[in-house]
Amino acid sequence: MARRYDPERRQRIIDAAIRVVGEKGLAGLSHRSAAAEADVPLGSTTYHFKSLDELMVAALRQASEGFAKAVAAHGALDGSGGDLAADLARVLGEWLGGDRTGVELEYELYLAALRRPALRPVAAEWADDLAARLAHRTDPVTARALVALTDGICLQVLLTGVPYDEGYAREMLARVIP
């Protein structure tokens, strides 16, 4: 029996894993649930991802592109002038005001790194990438503090259901910037 060539199968499994987490939470993700959602044999998921952690790493890496895309699309954080607090607050507002399910999914996978050490390096990439962008506009220590504050603001919005307040975020971010 000839093996079917399916170069997109790995990507379909990642996309399916993200959908499963979005619908059922992280606890609902397994090789079996991802295979069923992707409409592929169970053996395909275990072939492409030897462990559930490997599948979660791939899903987290893809999901975390959401904020990175918002930052890149905005472009304001790449410049050298202007009001950094206002620029960062605006980017946060655009991201949090977009696809809420995607934002929640990104954070769910991001926080899964607390219990799954294999996810930690990928989760750290988000903070490292943002800190590197911000370091072009301020010093590295302030950049890290801004990342921590940004993370906290996002979590508060997601956990409390209170709408994002760009003015508040801008004011708090400005307090950190020397």
Domain assignment of residue 1, yes or no: no
Q: Are residues 82 and 139 in the same domain?
A: yes
CATH number at residue 33: 1.10.10.60
Long-range contacts of 114-123 (CB under 8 A, 24+ apart): 116/53, 116/56, 118/51, 118/53, 118/54, 118/56, 118/57, 119/53, 119/56, 119/57, 119/60, 122/57, 122/60, 122/61, 122/64, 123/60, 123/64
Round to whole Å and give the CA distance between 17 and 30.
8
Q: Are residues 38 and 92 in the same domain?
A: no
Quick one: pLDDT band at residue 125, thresholds 50, 70, 90? Answer: confident
Q: Which residue has the higher pLDDT, 108 or 169?
A: 169
Mean pLDDT of 8-13: 93
Residue 131: per-residue pLDDT: 92
Is the predicted pLDDT of residue 3 greater than 60, yes or no?
Answer: no
Mean pLDDT over the full length of the chain: 88
Query: Of 80-89, 147-156, 157-166, where does mean pLDDT reach its minimum?
Result: 80-89
Is the predicted pLDDT of residue 45 greater than 90, yes or no?
Answer: yes
Q: What is the pTM of this model?
A: 0.80
Round to whole Å and give the CA distance between 97 and 131.
22
Q: Are residues 52 and 68 in the same domain?
A: no
CATH number at residue 81: 1.10.357.10
Domain containing 108 equals: 64-176
- Please state, for a pLDDT cut of 70, what percent of the chain lies above it: 96
- Please state, for a pLDDT cut of 90, what percent of the chain lies above it: 50
Give the number of domains in the chain: 2
